[in-house]
Chain A
Amino acid sequence: MTAGLLTPRVLRSLLPALSLAVLLVAIFYLQPRAMSYFGINLLLNLAVPIALATLAQMFILTVNDLDLSIGSFVSFVACIAATWLSEMPLLGILALLGCILVYALLGALIYLRDLPSIVVTLGMSFVWLGLSVLLLPTPGGTAPGWLQALMKLKTPLVPFCVIAAIVIGLVVHLGLMRSAHGAVLRGAGGNPKAVARAGWSLLRIKVTMFALAGCFGVLAGLALVGLTTSADANIALRYTLLSIAGVILGGGEFVGGRVSPIGAVIGAMTLTLAGSFLSFLRLSPDWQIGAQGAILILVLALRMLINRAEARR
């Protein structure tokens, strides 16, 4: 009877959630006190900005590009938020809107000149880092009060970070996976020629996806600085690789517009927990990034086994 329910297809879509659940259960087993409102909040706080950055990366991957600058972009947004946004709110808001505009223009540039996105975004990572250094030469600044208040919101029963992650995942899921427009956007990654022949502007699609990535990058930076209260030019550099890993962990693929927003959020949470898991095992923090790599390989191996089972049918 279960054989009918547990088809490889179902298994594959459940895999990200299952790996997160296994990790959570393992942590709760090692440290039962983590299974509380406070404990979960502490464990998953930083997952919110990482999840937002992962979704930004997912939008870019949907149209078969790759963003190697998202980490330095999130850092730059954090720097703006910790300086201009709290001192001169209007200038801060304009600067953030300008950032999104730059992302949209990058999308247009990459499409029109048919440039390799890897190299363009590598170049942009220098630009964002340089701008952050100019704005905030030494770590510091203060996040605006409202941002700190929002990120430290005490919601009843379920911690804010969990609610935020669920809401973010669902909103993007509805927009990208369930709407007609979302299908076109994803189609541009799957078969650009067909989408173009059907009368859609590939330029507009590319610009939309890059602008969305810019938006989510801005949100990630704001969420991050709301938690840390001060910023630093290098604060989020590791988000670049984490966001790619998160998308893939959540079931996304590099080509063909095959992505999963909910999976990406779960992937980001899994990677965030991987570090804490080690400290509960009392292993040296030296292995923290190693654990993230190991989990990535493990989940991908499981997915491959499921795919193989599917092919055998």
Chain B
Amino acid sequence: MAAEPAWQRLLAQPWLWSYLAAASVWAATIAFTQGQGGGQVLTAAFTFAAFFVIVGIGQMFVVTLGPGNVDLSIPATMTLAGTLAMRIMDGHEALILPGLALALGCGVVIGAINYGLIRALRIPPIIATLSSSFLIQSTAIWYNRGIRIKPPPALAEFATAQVAGVPVLAVGVILLTVLMHVLLTRTRYGRAVLAIGQNQRAAGLAGIPVDRIRLGTYMLCATLAGLCGYVQAGFAGGAALNMGEEYLLASIAVVVIGGTSVAGGNANVPGLWGAALFLFLLVTMLNTFGLGAGIRLVMTGIIIIAVIIAASGRQRAR
């Protein structure tokens, strides 16, 4: 292992490909505009990628728990947390922190309910999170009543702030990513998640409290979804009932394109950023080319599938 040249070790990194894909899509965009607006595109990409990464981290921990583990309630959780927080804060700056606590608490409770359903009814996580998402979405619709309440100005400012073209939000999420990377690779909790994903039975026999770890992971995922809903509502000037829509697909795509194994037991935090940037830049590129909505959707789908095929070839080669 130690004799391997550095470049070979770099090439073996599963996150490398998502960054390469993101960079080439960005380069294609800039080539088309002949160098104009490259910086603005990057600023926007980092802002929107930050939202994808927040939910992507949670989904990644859940997916890593092993086959069949996936959280489909992320969009509904985002909507409910965003709606609740906006309505409680009602534009008052003094309530920004209580609002945040409420959004996060909403996630904690939903995560506990999700895992409670999985455990008590012995049903696959997909079905548990699907049924709970129906209930959560209904609650959000009922509570929202179509009224759009503006976020407190300070929150909106923070969510959209930039320093020399660098979005403050993205910096915050990068710090969160580093923290989560340490959580995954350096703590007992993270190791336990990986061990359960590789072989749940063996992990249990080795004395890992499987139930508690899985419960914690579903709670972590829903809490991050709550955080994303809160920040997203601040960014977009209020909570909307469809605000979580694209995040179901994005959260899964970001995890898989980022190099995390769908079979579980093998996670990759840095790849999330590459994949999230790639997803946003891809849409930007197709927009820049002046393509219609239909072609854009078709191309997005085909490119996602192509990336998955390329990634599977890479895993096979190793």
Option from B68, B134, B294, B308 in Cβ contact (under 8 Å) with A130:
B294
A118 and B298 form a contact (CB under 8 A)? no
Pick from A122, A254, A288, A304: contact of B304, CB below 8 A: A122
In the assembled complex, the Cα of A288 lies from the Cα of B182 at a distance in Å of 42
Which single member of B126, B295, B302, B304 contacts A119 (CB below 8 Å)? B304
CB of B297 within 8 A of CB of A116, answer no
B70 contacts the other chain (CB 8 A): yes
Chain A hits for B159, CB < 8 A = none
Interface string of B280-305 (1 = CB under 8 A from A): 00000000000011111111111011
Q: Is A178 an interface residue (CB 8 A)?
A: no
Closest residue of A by beta carbon distance from B293: A133
> Closest CB of chain A to B254's CB: distance in Å?
11
Contact (Cβ within 8 A) A130 B301: yes
Question: Are B256 and A116 in contact (CB-based, < 8 A)?
Answer: yes
CB distance from B303 to the nearest CB of A (A): 8
Is there a chain A Cβ closer than 8 Å to B132's Cβ?
yes
Binary interface profile of B, 136-153, with partner A (CB < 8 Å = 1, else 0)? 011101100000000000
The complex places the Cα of A137 from the Cα of B294 at a distance, in Å, of 8
Minimal Cβ-Cβ distance residue in B for A302: B121
Given contacts A255-B68, A300-B123, contact A123 B304 (CB under 8 A): yes
- The complex places the Cα of A296 from the Cα of B121 at a distance, in Å, of 11
Q: Does A124 contact B (CB under 8 A)?
A: yes
Total contacts A-B at CB 8 Å: 139
Tell whether A119 pairs with B256 under 8 Å between CB atoms, given A129-B297, A290-B138, A293-B134.
yes
Rounded to whole Å, the gap between the CB of A3 and the closest CB of chain B is 25
B127→A131 contact, CB < 8 A: no
Task: Report chain B residues within 8 Å CB of A289.
Answer: 134, 137-138
Q: Min CB distance, A16 to chain B, in Å? A: 15
Q: Is the CB of A245 within 8 A of B131?
A: yes
Pick the residue among A114, A116, A122, A254 that contacts B126 (CB under 8 A).
A254
Q: Collect the chain B residues with CB atoms within 8 Å of residue A307's CB.
A: 122
Selected contact of B298 from candidates A131, A288, A296, CB within 8 Å: A131
Q: Does B224 contact A (CB under 8 A)?
A: no
Residue pair B142, A287 in contact (C-beta under 8 Å): yes
Q: What are the residues of chain B within 8 A of A131 when measuring CB–CB?
A: 294, 298
Q: Which B residue's beta carbon lies closest to that of A308?
A: B122
Q: Contact between A118 and B252 (Cβ–Cβ < 8 Å)?
A: yes
Q: How far is the CA of A134 from the CA of B292 in the complex (A)?
A: 8
Distance between Cα atoms of A268 and B219 in the complex (Å): 31
Q: CA separation between A290 and B309, bound complex, in Å?
A: 37
How far, in whole Å, are A255 and B305 apart by their CA atoms in the complex? 24
Contact A290 B134 (CB under 8 A): yes
Which positions 39-92 of chain A face chain B at CB distance < 8 Å? 66
Which residue of chain B lies nearest to A132 when distances are taken between CB atoms in the complex? Answer: B294
The answer on a CB contact under 8 Å between A113 and B298 is no
Which chain A residues in 118-152 approach chain B with CB under 8 Å?
A: 118-120, 122-135, 137
A297 within 8 A of B: yes
Is A229's CB within 8 Å of the partner chain B? no
| A-facing residues in B226-255 (Cβ within 8 Å) | 249, 252-253
Partner of A296, one of B70, B127, B256, B302: B127
Interface of B is mostly: helix
Cβ-based interface call for B133 (8 A): yes
Q: Which residues of A contact B300 (CB under 8 A)?
A: 123, 126, 130
- Minimal Cβ-Cβ distance residue in A for B134: A293
A300, B296: Cβ atoms closer than 8 Å: no
- Indicate whether A118 sits within 8 Å of B70 (C-beta atoms), given known contacts A127-B297, A292-B134: yes
The verdict on B262 contacting chain A, using a C-beta distance below 8 Å, is yes
Report which residue of A116, A133, A254, A301 has the largest number of chain B beta carbons within 10 angstroms of its beta carbon. A116
* Interface status of B190 (Cβ within 8 A of chain A): no
Q: Taking the complex as formed, is B130 at the interface, i.e. its CB lies under 8 A from any CB of chain A?
A: yes
The answer, yes or no, to whether B135 is at the interface (CB within 8 Å) is yes
A122 to B262, CA, bound (A): 14
Whether A297 pairs with B131 at a CB distance below 8 angstroms is yes
Chain A residues with CB under 8 Å of B72's CB are: 241
Given A118-B70, A125-B301, A287-B142, A297 and B309 contact (CB-CB distance below 8 Å): no
Within 275-313 of A, Cβ neighbours of B (below 8 Å) are at 284, 286-294, 296-297, 300-301, 304, 307
Query: What's the least CB distance linking A122 to chain B, in Å?
Result: 5
Q: From known contacts A114-B312, A126-B300, infer whether A286 and B138 are also in contact, taking CB-CB under 8 Å.
A: yes
A241 contacts B68, C-beta separation under 8 Å: no
Task: State A127–B301 Cα separation when bound (angstroms).
Answer: 5
- Contacts A127-B302, A293-B138 given; indicate if A300 touches B121 (C-beta within 8 A): yes
The chain B residue with its CB closest to the CB of A136 is B294
- How far apart are B261's CB and chain A's nearest CB, in angstroms? 9
Residue from the list A115, A125, A241, A297 in contact with B117, Cβ < 8 A: A297
Are B130 and A118 within 8 A (Cβ)? no
B124 at interface (Cβ–Cβ under 8 A)?
yes
Q: Select A120's contact among B127, B296, B297, B308, beta carbons within 8 Å.
A: B308
B interface residue numbers (CB < 8 A to A): 68, 70, 72, 117, 120-124, 126-127, 130-135, 137-139, 141-142, 249, 252-253, 256, 262, 292-302, 304-305, 308-309, 312-313, 316
Can you show 11 pairs from A to B with CB atoms below 8 A apart?
A: A66-B126, A109-B309, A115-B312, A119-B253, A122-B249, A124-B305, A134-B294, A137-B294, A244-B127, A290-B142, A300-B123
With A125-B249, A130-B296 known, 6 other A-B pairs at CB within 8 A are A123-B304, A245-B130, A284-B142, A290-B137, A293-B135, A297-B135
Minimum-distance CB pairs A-B, first 6: A290-B138, A293-B134, A130-B297, A126-B301, A134-B294, A130-B298
